[in-house]
Chain A
Amino acid sequence: MRFLEEKSEIINLIDLGKDYYQIVISAPEISKLARPGQFVNIKVTGSLFPLLRRPFSIWSAKENYIEVLCKEVGIGTKILREKKFGKISLIGPLGKPFPEPSPEDIVVLLGGGTGIAPLSFYAERITENKKIFFAGFKHLPSPYLLRRLEEVCETLIIATEDGSMGFKGLLSELIEKEFKNIESEYTKYFVCGPYPMLKVFEKILPEQRTFVSLEGIMACGFGICMGCAVKKKGENRYLRTCTDGTLFSLKDIEI
C-alpha cells in the first residue's frame, strides 16, 4: 500500500445531467500511481463540516490529473458540485488495483450508475482482451458519458429504467436475458453498482468468475477505522472494503 495526500484544485467540472457530474482534479503524484479499481478520498471543504472525506472511484488518470464521476447523493457531493473550481484535498490512490486479465479472458463489465467509472478505467487500460460493457442508468445518459464508454470498449450495451435508450428496464433484467449469449468458460464478470443490483447478480452469475467492486461507508479508506466491513463467506470474520478490496471475488464474500 502506498498513498499520499495532494492539496489540489478542481480544474474542470462537467455537468452530466440529472444528478451526475464529472470533476477533473489536478493531482500529478496520485495520477502517476493510480491503477484501475483504485479510489481517492476527497475532503470537500477545509472546515469541520462535513467532517469526513468522501470516497470516489478513479474514472481515469492521465498526465497530471485524475477524473472522477460523481452523483449528488448528500451534502458532500452537493458541496463538491457547487464548488466548481476550488481547492480540495485528496488522499490516494487507495484500495487494490483490479487484477490484470489473462490473455484468453473475455471481460464483461457490468456497471450501474456511477459504478461504470472504475470499470471504464479498467477497460481503458486493457487493450488485448475482448471487452463487452453493459451499462445501466435510470434515465438517458449524457452523450458525453456515452462517448467516453464507447471510447474504451468495442461493444457497449445500454439499459435505461425509463426506456429512453437501449433495453428498457434494470441492467440485471437485461443480463438475465442475455446471460446465455455472453457466458463461456473464459468470461470474467466485473460488477460495480448499487446494492440491489449486486444482490441480483449474486444469484445469476458464476461465483468463480465474478468479481464485485464494493462501495462501503468508510471513515478513512486506508484500513484503520474498520468501518467498511464486508462479511467473508463461510467464516466468522469481516474483511475491509478499502484495503482488502474494493474488488472481491463473489466466492469470497456475502453481499
Chain B
Amino acid sequence: MKLKIKDVEFKNPVLTASGTFGYGNELEDIIPVNELGGIVTKGISLKPRMGNPPPRLAETPCGLLNSIGLENIGLEKFVKEKWPEIKKIGPEIVVNIFGEKIEEYVEIAKTLEKEGIRCIELNLSCPNVEKGGLEFGRSERVVRNLVEKVRENFNGVIFVKLSPNFTDIVKISKAAEKGGADVLTLINTIMGMSIDAENMSFKIPRKVAGLSGPAIRPIALYIVYRVYQEVDIPIAGVGGINDIKSALEFHLAGSTLIQIGTALFIDPWIPFKIIKGIEEFLNKKNMEFKSIIGYLNKKRG
C-alpha cells in the first residue's frame, strides 16, 4: 500500500487529520504511531493563538461541533520545540498551516522548507483579513493566487484543504490544482450550530462551529467523487471515516489517501484497524491498492 507523491513516500494511505491528533507525538507511548501512513499536525500560524474560550465542543447526532479556535503555539515554537520531537517518530509529517494574509502562508511555508519539512497542508477555511474576513477558500482567484505564491516558495508536497461552505468546491479544487497543489484534502468541517433550547442559549458561545464525524460522511464522499472526475492530482479524503468500510468507501470514490479525524477521539487505535482491514480487503478481492482508487468513478475527458 506504499504511495509516492512527488518524492515523498507514504507507507500506507492512512493519515491522521489536522486538529485531531495534536502536534503528533502526544500518543507516542500509547499507539504505534510509526505505523501510520502519515500525521497531519494541528494548524500552525505565524504567531501563537490562544484559541476560543470553553465550551468548545458540542455533540450532535453522529457528529461533533468544534470551535477550538485554531489554538496553537505558533511557528517559532513549533520549529524550535515540536519539530525536533515529531520528526523522530517515523511516519511522514504534514504540517498544517493557516494565516490571515497570503504573505503569512508564504512566510510559514518558507520557514518550514528551511527546516527540512517535506509536506505542508494549507487550511483555506480561514478568514482573509484583507478581503473583509471572507474565507480564502471562497474565491477561485484567491485560492489560485495563494497556492501559486506558496508553490514559488515551497518545493515539497502541498496539500490544499478545502471546505464545501458557500462555494462550488469543484471549481475551487480546480483553482488549487492550477495554482500548483499536489494533493487536495477534501473536506474540512462544515459550518454548523447547536442550540440548548431548555436554557435558550447557544451551546458554543461563538455560535457557529465546524461539524465533523460520520454526520458529514455522505457529503464528503460525494465531494471526493465529484472532484475526482475533474482534477488530476490525488485526493486525501476526510470526513466521518471511522471504520474499515467507510475508509474503503472513500478510496472507491476516488481518494488516494485518507485522513482519520473525529474517530480518533473515540478510538485512537482505529487507524491501525483500518490499515489492516484495507490489506485484508485487497487480499480477499485479489486486487492491488491502486486499482481500488476511484474504482466506482471515472475521470472526465
Give chain A's interface residues, CB within 8 Å of chain B. Answer: 1-5, 43, 48-53, 216-220, 222-231, 236-238
Contact = CB atoms under 8 A, between A and B. Distances in A.
Nearest to A226: B68
B39 to A, nearest CB: 11
Interface in B57-112: 57-59, 61-64, 66, 68, 71
Quick one: which of A4, A224, A237 has the most chain B CB within 10 A? A224
Interface string B33-66: 0000000001000000011111111110111101
A224 B262 contact: no
A2 B29 contact: yes
Contacts of A222: 26-27, 30, 268
B26 A223 contact: yes
Given A1-B30, A2-B30, A217 B57 contact: yes
10 contacts: A1-B30, A51-B61, A51-B262, A222-B268, A224-B26, A225-B66, A227-B56, A227-B66, A227-B68, A238-B51
What are the nearest 4 A-B pairs in CB distance? A220-B265, A227-B57, A219-B265, A224-B22
B63 A51 contact: yes
* Interface SS of B by simple majority: loop
Given A51-B214, A224-B265, 19 more contacts: A5-B267, A48-B62, A51-B213, A216-B54, A217-B55, A217-B57, A217-B58, A219-B57, A220-B268, A224-B22, A225-B20, A225-B265, A226-B42, A226-B71, A227-B68, A229-B56, A229-B68, A231-B53, A237-B50
B59 A52 contact: yes
A2 B28 CA distance: 10
Contacts of A227: 54, 56-57, 66, 68
Contacts of A237: 50
B200 interface: no
Given A48-B214, A51-B63, A43 B57 contact: no
A52 B54 contact: no
Given A5-B269, A48-B62, A49-B62, A224 B264 contact: yes
B28 to A, nearest CB: 10
A51 B50 contact: no
A160 B14 CA distance: 53
Contact of A51 (B56, B59, B264): B59
Contacts of B55: 217
Nearest to A50: B59
A246 to B, nearest CB: 14
Contacts of B197: none
A229 B51 CA distance: 9
A220 B264 contact: yes
A230 B64 CA distance: 20
B265 A52 contact: yes
B230 to A, nearest CB: 31
Contacts of A5: 267, 269
B21 interface: yes
A216 B55 CA distance: 8
Contacts of B26: 222-224
A51 B30 contact: no
B224 to A, nearest CB: 20
A218 B22 contact: no
Given A52-B265, A227-B57, A230-B54, A219 B62 contact: no
Nearest to A48: B62
Nearest to A243: B26
B57 A225 contact: yes
A94 to B, nearest CB: 11
B221 to A, nearest CB: 15
A3 B28 CA distance: 12
Interface in B179-221: 213-214
A115 B145 CA distance: 54
Contacts of B54: 216-217, 227-230, 238
A53 B29 CA distance: 21
A151 to B, nearest CB: 34
Contacts of A4: 30
Contacts of B61: 49, 51
Contacts of B66: 219, 225, 227
A1 B264 contact: no
